[in-house]
Amino acid sequence: MVLDYVFPKFTMPLPTLKSTPAFSICVYCGARAGDDSAFAEAAREVGHWIGHHGGQLVYGGGRNGLMGIVADGTLEAGGRVVGIIPKALVENEWAHQDCTELHVVDTMHERKRMMAERADAFVALPGGIGTFEEFFEVWTWRQLGYHNKPVGLLNLNGYYDGLLMFLKSVVTHQFMGEWQMELISVDNQSPRLLTQLVQSAGLHYSVKGEAI
């Protein structure tokens, strides 16, 4: 494990990697497990898919809830895990010490910037207000042209049905255009959604062992 304390002007160099991951997916999800075991199962499935396909997980660096489960799933499947967590949340979210790289940063802004820089695509799983904020931010950045990386929403068991209905009403009221909705990919099946995101990023992946 590489424990990398990152500050605005001083960054400890990382070791040269023996192999480069085929892709990096940034996953936003809850620091709680939720009330349905399907949430945890989906988080582990996402981690397994990333690892089995030679990818790298970029996430918030916590061990709790779905965050810890998706990280564990990626590691179990042989994938790399890059965790990025602010100092203030190291105790609250229990920083995951088994990450391939664990970056402890000063602020949330630094965390989100670093996560965005390290990712080829983004996907939001079920979560709370932090997940919503991160998802909306990278979606906003994309529509403003700050990046052109694919953004996905895993609508597991209809978790985001209410949000999607509201977003349609925003389009109806002309505060947003259909083209902005087309900037996100929505699916209820994680393997299908992840495949679409990686392919939309123009990347290819290999399959290691029994992939999902």
Residue 84's nearest CA partner among 52, 65, 45, 57 is 57
Say whether pLDDT at 77 is over 70: yes
Mean pLDDT of 145-167: 97
Mean pLDDT of 14-40: 85
pLDDT at position 8 is: 31
pLDDT at position 4 is: 46
pLDDT at position 123 is: 98
Cα torsion for 129, 135, 138, 144, to the nearest 10°? Answer: -90
Q: Which domains does the chain have, with CATH numbers?
A: 2-8+24-200 (3.40.50.450)
Percent of the chain at pLDDT above 90?
83
Q: Measure Cα distances from 101 to 14, 95, 118, 188 in Å.
A: 9, 11, 12, 30
Q: Measure Cα distances from 160 to 97, 98, 131, 174, 192 in Å.
A: 31, 31, 12, 21, 17
pLDDT at position 209 is: 53
pLDDT band per the 50, 70, 90 thresholds, residue 94:
confident
Q: Rounded mean pLDDT of the chain?
A: 90
pLDDT at position 136 is: 98
Total-model pTM: 0.88
Distance CA 154, CA 159 (A): 9
pLDDT at position 93 is: 64
pLDDT band per the 50, 70, 90 thresholds, residue 154:
very high
Q: Measure Cα distances from 196 to 3, 10, 47, 190 in Å.
A: 32, 37, 16, 10
